[in-house]
Chains A and B, each alone.
Chain A
Amino acid sequence: MLHIVNKSPFEKTSLETCLRLARPGSVLLLIEDAVYAAARGNAAESKIRQAARTLKVYALSPDLEARGIRDKAIDGIELIDYGGFVDLVAEHTAVQSWL
């Protein structure tokens, strides 16, 4: 299934809860302020690196660019555009948005 997180890991527990519940093989998409978790060199990096061992992790490139962190994206996270976002949603029957 597809899990979508849109809140900064430093403001909300959404990402943490998502990672606690997401089963191996699931897909995680980081959008809006959640893309801060996709950047290297912050306190959330180890969580994302660990998650990437069992989940396929994507981040929305326009949101990284807007925040000036496009070149800090953690290796192993796949950056996608809006078209890719639509494809991910279309590919999955169950989608949980961790609002």
Chain B
Amino acid sequence: MTAPMDDDESSGGAAGTVKKFMFVNRRAPYGTIYALEGLETVLISAAFDQDVSMVFVDDGVYELMKGQQTKAIEVKNFSPTYRALEGYDIEKLYVEQESLAARGLTAENLVVPVDVLSAVELGELMEQQDVLISC
């Protein structure tokens, strides 16, 4: 995939171009399918060797809560998957401080280590992206 002569579609027009993709998660995990579908999209994106980051804002922070037990509602608990992201070289996880605070949470309540950023810092990071995808 990184061979210089490679001209297949995965290399795009400019071979080896890496874009900054940010996935913006704003939904709680089980009420709708957005969070799970978003996570799956992120995992797929890992196959394309791009600069991927995930952001958790608003109810998106609930996706990362420790202690999720979904047996009784008979759906898959996908929160452990966030811990596997590192294995796919997706290591940039950002959580908005204001969203955590509004929900009475801190980074200690989350299943993975994250960078907690203010709305201003997150807004600036957003400005630096090539592609933003809402989940």
Contact = CB atoms under 8 A, between A and B. Distances in A.
Contacts of A21: 57, 96, 119, 122-123, 126
Nearest to A1: B127
B98 interface: yes
B134 A1 contact: no
B49 interface: no
B130 A96 contact: no
A70 to B, nearest CB: 28
Interface string A41-57: 00000000000000000
Interface in A69-99: 93-99
Contact of B123 (A13, A23, A95, A97): A23
Given A93-B130, A97-B134, A99-B134, A17 B58 contact: yes
B123 A94 contact: no
10 contacts: A20-B119, A21-B122, A21-B123, A21-B126, A23-B120, A23-B126, A94-B127, A96-B126, A97-B132, A97-B134
